Amino acid sequence: MGLLLAAELRLAGVDVTVLERAAARSPHSKALTLPPRSLEVLAMRGLAEPFLREGEPVPTGHYGGLPVRLDFSVLDTRFPYTLVLPQLRTEQLLEERLRAPGGEIRWEHRALEVRQDADGAEVDVAGPDGTYTLRAVWVAGCDGAGSAVRTSAGSGLPRHRAPREGRGTADARAAAGAIAGDPDRMRAVTARPTTAHDGWTGRRTVLVRPDGHVAWDAALSTT
């Protein structure tokens, strides 16, 4: 969210500062797919092509681990599928878009608190060399589920414990030759039902990259 917004603002000539509390991009992916609406939004900004080139379209999939398989092929959209592409690649492609017009990310800079006044806002930031305060006309709270920025602004999200359902995502490497198929394409294999660890039963999506790297996404349910 923050990368896309920052890239768009930068393209419009706005001076943007992106703060990221992590020291580097995580090699592990949470999201493994881009649903139709996300692809439509990227296409609106002329951005869909590199994602479509790398991703693997899969016509059905789960949403949020719900025990109902969604059929994207019936949707009235240019993208009637969910595109399997690890979040790591999504973020890297968006970062390229940000860097092209000169945008930068300040890694290891954590937003602590935001104060708003009549002319803009101030952000207290903890960086590797200590804390400092940034002044900006606008501050966008794109800092994820537990957003410090949105909490400062009084618009943090109330949290609810999910019903009795588990969810797991793992990255793994397949043994050489263990995976048959077209080596030039990333392959997505979906299977259900399957039995996963700890006695959970549910659906499983296995994503295989040409280099044999497997990102495994499991939506698990006790039912």
- To ligand FAD, the closest distance from the beta carbon of 177 in angstroms equals 28
Q: Which is nearer to ligand FAD, 135 or 178 (CB)?
A: 135
- To ligand FAD, the closest distance from the beta carbon of 87 in angstroms equals 6
- To ligand FAD, the closest distance from the beta carbon of 61 in angstroms equals 8
**Where does this chain bind ligand FAD (CB under 6 A)?**
1-2, 19-22, 30-35, 38, 87, 110-111, 142-144, 148, 167, 169
153-157: long-range pairs with CB below 8 Å, 24+: 153/114, 153/116
Candidates 94, 101, 89, 103; CA nearest to 47 is 94
- To ligand FAD, the closest distance from the beta carbon of 143 in angstroms equals 4
**Residue 57: partners with Cβ closer than 8 Å, 6 or more residues away:** 79, 81, 82, 83, 84
Tell me the C-alpha distance between 51 and 182, whole Å. Answer: 19
Q: Which is nearer to ligand FAD, 162 or 178 (CB)?
A: 162
Q: Which is nearer to ligand FAD, 89 or 167 (CB)?
A: 167
> Looking at the DSSP assignment, which residues form a beta bridge with residue 129?
none
Q: Which is nearer to ligand FAD, 11 or 140 (CB)?
A: 140
> Looking at the DSSP assignment, which residues form a beta bridge with residue 113?
124
